[in-house]
Amino acid sequence: MISSIEAKIKACAIHRVGNKLRDEGYVLSENQYDDYDSVHEFLIEYFFTPFKSEEYYSFYHNIDKSMNEVYMCVHGIFTDPNTILQQSIDLSKHLYEQSTHPKVKGGEFYVVYFEDCIVDGVNTNAIGLFKSENKDTYLKIQHKSNGFMIESEKGISLNKLDKGCLIFNIEKENGYVVAVVDNTNKGAEAKYWTEDFLHVRPRKDSFNQTQNMLSLCKSFVSQLPAENGKIEKATYMNRSVEALKEESVNVDAFAEQVFETPELVSEFKQYKETYQKERDIEIDDHFATASNAIKRRATGTMTTIKLDKNFDINIHGGEQYIERGYDEERGMYYYQLFFREER
C-alpha cells in the first residue's frame, strides 16, 4: 500500500513530449520547476491518488538492467537529485522515441523527486514519472463592477492522471519497486508506456505469485474437456480460491487438494510447466499468498452457469447439492438445487 501523507516534493522538471509518428517533436525546459509551494498539496493529490493497486513492477532488460534507460536515469537521480534536469531531458527524449503509435497523444511530462513516501510500511524516497495528455474545459467566473463574467479555460483535472509511475528507492538490485498507472490506453498502444518506455514486468512477490497461480488454474480448468461439466469446473475454481486463502501454498499439496485424482493432478503439473514457459513467468513450488490478489482476480465466469437467456447459477460452494439431468418429455436439460433455507 502506498501512502503520501508525509510526502514532499523536493525537485521537479516539466517538459512536453509529442507523438514521433506525427513528427510533433518535444519542448524541453532549461530549468527545474521550483514554484510549486502554493500548489504542493494539489500536486501530491494529483500524482498519488490514482495509485490504488497493490500490484508492483520492477525494471528489467533481457541482457542487463544497465541497458534499461529509465532504470539508469532513475538511478542517477537517486544517487544525485541535483541531476534531475538532465536526467529528465534524457527521459523525455527516450519517451519521444517510444511514442510512435498513432493513438499516443502528446502532453506534459513531469519528473518529480519525492521524500518521505511510504510503500508497504517502508519510508523511502521516490521518483515519479507522469504524463498528462487530456485537457478538460473549466468555467471561470469573475466579478465585475456591474455584474459577473463567465469565461472558459482549458486545464488538467486533478482527478485524471493519464499516465504515471512511482519508483521507490528500495530493492535497487532487483530493478526497484515500481507502481504503474495508465488510464488512457487500454489496447495495444498501452504497451508503449509500460513495456516500450518503462520496460517493467510484474515484481515477483506474494501478490504476483498468487495472481499467477489463480490465472494458471483458470486457464487449466477452462481447457478441460466437455465431460468435465460446468459444475465440476466450478468446483475446481472454488477449491483453488479456498486453497489460496491460506497463508502459504505448496504446489504439490495444492494440486492434490483441488484436483484430487492422480491423473488430473499429474496433468495440472505438466500444464503448469508449459504455462510458465509460454508466459515467461515462474511460480515457485512454495510461496506466501496475498488475499488481495484473489479479490482482484476472482473466478469470474468460471463459477457461473448461464442457462439460455433467462437464468444464471452462481456456484460458490455446495456443489454436491446441484444435479444436472435431461427431461425426455420436454426435451430440455435441467438443474436440481437442494437447499435448507430460502433468503
Name residue 110's beta-bridge partners: 14, 130
Q: Are 250 and 265 in contact (CB under 8 A)?
A: no
* pLDDT at residue number 233: 85
Question: What single-letter DSSP state applies at residue 31?
Answer: S
CA 190 to CA 293: how far, in whole Å?
22
Distance between the two ends of the chain, CA-based, in angstroms? Answer: 37
CA 71 to CA 59: how far, in whole Å?
6
CA 115 to CA 8: how far, in whole Å?
5
Which residue ranges in the chain fall short of pLDDT 50? 296-297
When computed from its CA atoms, the radius of gyration of the chain, rounded to whole angstroms, is 26
The DSSP annotation for 297-313 comes to: T--GGGGEEEETTTEEE
The DSSP annotation for 244-285 comes to: HTSSEEEHHHHHHHHH-SHHHHHHHHHHHHHHHHHHT----S
Name residue 140's beta-bridge partners: 151
Q: Which amino acid is present at 125?
A: N
Q: Are 55 and 208 in contact (CB under 8 A)?
A: yes
Question: What single-letter DSSP state applies at residue 94?
Answer: H
> Distances from the Cα of 143 to the Cαs of 153, 154, 278, 323, 332, in angstroms?
16, 20, 64, 73, 73
* pLDDT at residue number 336: 85
CA 249 to CA 112: how far, in whole Å?
39
Please name the helix (run of DSSP H) or strand (run of DSSP E) that holds residue 118, with its range, or none: strand 107-119
Q: Are 56 and 293 in contact (CB under 8 A)?
A: no
The structural domains of the chain, with segments of one domain joined by +, span 2-203, 207-303
* pLDDT at residue number 334: 85
